[in-house]
Structure 1
Amino acid sequence: MLDEHRRLSEKKIASAIRDELNRHGQMILTANGQSMFPYIQQSDICTFSRLEKDSALKRGCIVLYQNDSGRLIAHRYLRTNVSPDGWEYFLIKGDSNLYPDPPVAPGQLIGVLTGMKAAKHRLRISHLSDRAWCRMILDVPRLSWLINKYLNLRSRAKKKITIDFKRDFKRSKV
C-alpha cells in the first residue's frame, strides 16, 4: 500500500514538472542519488530545459525522463533504437551504472540538462572539460565499472564507520 501511494505521488510530481517545463521552458531541480557520479552529485542544482519535439538528441547529453514506476531520472543519452515491432526507443544510462536503463519511449522524456551548479566541491575533475568527460564515459565502458566499484567501497566504509561508532558509543554508556 505504501509503495502504491509513493508511486502515485511520484507520478504527480513528474506530471507537475512536465507542466512547469512546458509553461516556462526550464526548471531547476536538486539532484538526489549517485547514478551520475562524479559528474552530478547529491544536492547539485540542475537546470533542465524543455525538450523541443523537433530537436535531435545528441549522444552524451543528459536527459530527464519519467520511468515506468513514475520516478524522475536524469541519465546520459546513448542512442536511439527501433524495436522489431517498429517503435522507437532511447537507450539511456547513468555514468556509474553498469548497464543501461530499460528502454525509454519518446513520451517518457521530459527535458534536457542545460546547466548545473555544484552544491559542494566547486571544482571537479569531471567538470574541467564536459566534452572530454562525456567522451570518456561513453567510450571507455570500464570507467563506469571503476566508478561503481569506488561507490560500493565508499558505501561499505561509511557503514563500517557507523557500525563501529554505534558499538563504541554503547560501550561508553556502560
Structure 2
Amino acid sequence: MPFHKESFQLLIRVMRRRGWIELPARGTSMYPFIQKGDICRFIVTKEESIKKGDILLFRTSSGNLVAHRFCRMVTRNQQLHYLCKGDTNLKHDEAISLDQMIGKLTRIERNRRIIHATDLFAYVWGRTILTFPMIALLLRFYLNRKESLQA
C-alpha cells in the first residue's frame, strides 16, 4: 500500500501517542494467517524485543507500507538490517533498517474473533512457514489458481 511521507509521519505520531495502531489488511502475501479485511493491531516495539517469526510493520524505500514476517538479520554497508518475507512470497523483501520499522503485530481481528500473535496457532504457523519454505510455493500456486478461477 503506497504511503505518502506525511501519512507515514502521522501514523508514527498516532502510534507514539497511543502505543498502537490498527490497520486493515490488503493483499495475499501473509495468507492464510492474515487475510484481506482483517484488522491488524501493531504496537511500538524496541529492537531487543524483535524475534524471528514476528510480523513487522515497515515502510519500504519506495514508500509502501508492508507487514511481513521477520526471518533474520543481515549486514548491509556494515550495518545490521532486518530481512522479512511474506508467507506466500517466493523471495525476501529488501532488507530494512530500524528507522523504516514502525511496529510489531500483536493481534488480528477477523469476523469479530481475535487472534493474538502469541497464540499457539500463530507460533506453530510462524515456525512452520520459516522452516519449510516450500509451503510458500504451494500457497502461491493455490492463490494464483483461485484468482484465475474467479476472473
Q: What is the TM-score when the length of structure 2 is the normalising length?
A: 0.89
1:10 aligned to which of 4, 18, 41: 4
Residue aligned with 1:14, SS: helix
- The answer on whether the counterparts of 1:11 and 1:71 sit within 8 Å (CA) in structure 2 is no
Taking the TM superposition and a 5 Å limit, the aligned residue runs for 1:49-88 are 49-53=43-47, 55-83=48-76, 85-88=77-80
- The answer on whether the counterparts of 2:108 and 2:114 sit within 8 Å (CA) in structure 1 is no
Structure number with the higher helix fraction is: 1
Residue 39, structure 1, aligned to residue 23, structure 2: no
Residue aligned with 2:9, SS: helix
Structure 2 counterpart of 1:24, which letter?
R
Which runs of 5 or more structure 2 residues have no equivalent in the other structure? none
Residue number in structure 2 paired with 1:30? 24
Taking the TM superposition and a 5 Å limit, the aligned residue runs for 1:133-152 are 133-152=125-144
- The answer on whether the counterparts of 1:47 and 1:114 sit within 8 Å (CA) in structure 2 is yes
State how far apart, in whole Å, the 2-side matches of 1:46 and 1:52 are.
19
Offset of residue 123 of structure 1: 10
Aligned identity (percent) is 33
Residue number in structure 1 paired with 2:103? 111
- The answer on whether the counterparts of 2:107 and 2:114 sit within 8 Å (CA) in structure 1 is no
Structure 1 counterpart of 2:70, which letter?
Y
Which runs of 5 or more structure 1 residues have no equivalent in the other structure? 1-5, 160-174
State how far apart, in whole Å, the 2-side matches of 1:118 and 1:147 are.
20
Offset of residue 73 of structure 1: 0.3
Residue number in structure 2 paired with 1:155? 147
Offset of residue 29 of structure 1: 0.9
Query: 1:128-166 CA distances to partner (integer Å, 9 max, x unpaired)?
Result: 71111111100001000000111100111111xxxxxxx
Structure 2 counterpart of 1:31, which letter?
A
State how far apart, in whole Å, the 2-side matches of 1:128 and 1:151 are.
25
The count of corresponding residues between Structure 1 and Structure 2 is 148
Residue 99, structure 1, aligned to residue 91, structure 2: yes
State how far apart, in whole Å, the 2-side matches of 1:115 and 1:24 are.
16
Offset of residue 88 of structure 1: 1.3
90 and 29 in structure 1: CA distance in 2 versus 1, 3 angstrom threshold = same
